[in-house]
Structure 1
Amino acid sequence: MLSATDTIRSLGGLARGTHLRSLGFTRQALAGMVRRGEIERVRHGVFAAGPLDEQVRAATAHGGALTCASVLRSAGIWVLPADDGPHVWLGPDNHALPHPGCTCRSHYYRGRPPLGSATIETALLHLRRCCGDEAFFAAYESAWRLKKLSAAARARIRKALPRSARWLVELASGRRQRPRIASPPAAPCPGHPPPVPSEDRRRREGRLRPRRPPDPRGGRRREPRIADAQAYRPHP
C-alpha cells in the first residue's frame, strides 16, 4: 500500500479526505500526517502533497477550482485581459472561504467544480461570461492554433454557448478554413533557362496533345494529308 504522500501525488497533488478514507487511511492517520508536515490540509476535507501550483492552491483554499483566464493563461493560451488574481469557480450554491492573502475572483456559474482546475473548454466558456465576447474570441483562436481544442471539444463549446454567441465560433472556423492563395512561381536565375514543366503538368494545362493509340495493323500510323483528301474527293 502506498503512503498518503505518494497516493496524493499520484492523484495530481490534491485529494479529498473521503477518497483517501476509501483507500484505507483513517481520519486519525491523516491528522497525524498533517501535524508531522508530511501532507498539507488546504481546506477542510482536502489535502495536498508535493509541489502544487500557487494559483491552484489559492483556488482550492478559496473553496473552488481554478478557471477562466487563470486556467487559459497557465496553459499558454493568449488571454486579452490582464492578470488580476486567481479566477475561482465556486458553483451556484457554494460560498468563498477566507484564507490568507486572498486576491481571488469568485465565479458562481452553474455546475460542480472539480478538484484543482477546470478544463480548457469550461475555462473558455467562463471567460466569455467574465470578460466578454472579444476576450473569448481571442482566447478561442489561440487555443485552436495551439492545438488545445479537438473537433469534438469545439463542437461542445459551440453547443454550450447561447445561440446569440455561436457566431463567434463560426467566425473563427471560417478564418481557420480560409483557402490559401498559391504563391507565384519563382523567377529563373539570370543566365539559366527556366525549368521545363513536366509532361503531366503540360497535359493538365492543355499544352500537350494526348497520345494517339497505335495502329492495330502495325507500323506507324500515318496522319492523313490534305492532298490525300483532295485525291479522294468525288468529282461532280
Structure 2
Amino acid sequence: MIRSSADRPVLPSDVPTAVLRRAHLLAAGATGRQITDAVRDGRLLRLRRDHYLPRDTDPQVCAAVQWGGRLDCVSLLRLLGVFVRERAGLHIQLAPDASRTPRPEASTEIVRHWRPTSSAADDVLVPVREALCAAVRCQRPRDAVATLDSAWHLGAVDEDGLADVFAHVPGRYRSLRPLLDQRAEAGTETLVRLMLRSLGCHVDLQVRIDGVGRVDLLVDGWLVIECDSRSHHGSWGNHKRDRRRDAAAIGLGFTTLRLLAEDILFRPEWVIEVLRRAVARGPGTTPRTVRVHNSGEL
C-alpha cells in the first residue's frame, strides 16, 4: 500500500494533511457566506474554532482535531496499513504545553501523547517516524518488532528512518533493532518468526521452493509455515491453490503447518506449544534434493 519516502507516505484519499483555516478558504475565493453554508449543509466540517476539514475526512482524523491534537502512534500507523495490534482508544499527539484542549463528547477512549513534534502547526498527522517511536513504547516488544517490520516492508520507513527511530526511543528498546526483517509481509509472520527464534530454530522468510512456490517461513530446512488470514485466503480459489501447494510440498518431503492469524494474535501460548511440538518431532522424511531460493537469513 505505502510506497513513498520515509516521512511522506501515500495517504488514503480521505486523509488530508492539514486543517483548513478561514483565511485559507477566503484566500481561495470563498466568501464568508459560502463558508457558513458549506458548514451548515455538511460539505465542510467545523471541528473546533477555525479548524475545518472536508466532509469525507476519515473520522479518526476528525476526532484527533476535535480533541486539539494530531493523529499519532498506532492509530496513524493502522490508518496507513501498517500492522499494529488491535488496541482500544484513539492515539493523538498534543504539545507538552497545551493547557486548554477541547473536551468534545466521545465514547472512544483517548490516549494522549504529550510531546513535541516536528509537524507544522496545521498538520493533522505526525510524521511516520514519530508515530513509530510512540508505537514502540505503546506496545509489547514482539508487537513493536512486527510493527517496525511492517512499516519497513511497506516503505513507510527506510533504514535511515529506523536508525532515527531507535535514536529517539529509550535505550532498553534498542535491542530490538537486530530482530527486524524487511522481508516479513505480515505482522503475523514476524510474531511466528520470533516464537520460532525463542525455540532456537533457524528461520528463512519468503522462500521460493521449486514446484511449490513462495512460502512464508521455512524452518530448519523442512517445516513450511504459512500464516493465513481471511483477507488473503478467504475465497475457494485461494483454498484450492493452497491445498495443491501443500500437497506438492509433502511430495517433496516438506511438512506444511498452516496457522490462523487469529490464533497467532489471540492464542499465542497455544501456537508456541504447537510449534514446540512440531519442531521437537522433526521431519517425517528428509526433503528431497530440490532447489530452494533463499532471500536471506534471519
Q: What does the per-residue CA deviation read over 1:160-182, in whole Å, with 9 as the maximum and x for residues that have no partner?
A: 23344322223326998x99699
TM-score with structure 1 length normalisation? 0.59
Aligned residue in 2 for 1:106: 112
Deviates more, 1:30-39 or 1:140-149: 30-39
Residue 74 of structure 1, aligned match among 63, 79, 103: 79
**Residues 174 and 69 of structure 1: is their aligned pair in 2 closer, same or farther, counting only changes over 3 Å?**
closer
Aligned residue in 2 for 1:86: 90
Q: Distance in 2 between matches of 1:174 and 1:144?
A: 6
Q: Distance in 2 between matches of 1:134 and 1:154?
A: 16
How far residue 86 of structure 1 moved from its aligned partner, in angstroms, is: 1.3
Amino acid at match of 1:107: H
Secondary structure (helix, strand or coil) at the match of 1:87 reads strand
How far residue 22 of structure 1 moved from its aligned partner, in angstroms, is: 5.0
Q: What does the per-residue CA deviation read over 1:63-88, in whole Å, with 9 as the maximum and x for residues that have no partner?
A: 111111111112222213x3312111
Aligned residue in 2 for 1:119: 127
Q: What does the per-residue CA deviation read over 1:108-138, in whole Å, with 9 as the maximum and x for residues that have no partner?
A: 1222555222232211111123335343222
**Residues 184 and 137 of structure 1: is their aligned pair in 2 closer, same or farther, counting only changes over 3 Å?**
closer
Contact 1:39 1:48 in 2 (8 A): yes
Matches within 5 A, 1:143-222: 143-172=151-180
Larger radius of gyration: 1
Secondary structure (helix, strand or coil) at the match of 2:150 reads helix
Aligned residue in 1 for 2:149: 141
Gaps of 5+ in 1: 1-8, 187-236
Secondary structure (helix, strand or coil) at the match of 2:116 reads coil
How far residue 19 of structure 1 moved from its aligned partner, in angstroms, is: 3.7
How far residue 41 of structure 1 moved from its aligned partner, in angstroms, is: 0.5
TM-score with structure 2 length normalisation? 0.49
Name the one with the larger strand percent. 2
Q: What does the per-residue CA deviation read over 1:142-191, in whole Å, with 9 as the maximum and x for residues that have no partner?
A: 22233332233223223323344322223326998x996999999xxxxx
How far residue 141 of structure 1 moved from its aligned partner, in angstroms, is: 1.4
Q: Distance in 2 between matches of 1:39 and 1:58?
A: 15
* Identity rate, percent: 26
Amino acid at match of 2:144: F
* Cα root mean square deviation, aligned: 3.7
Contact 1:68 1:126 in 2 (8 A): yes
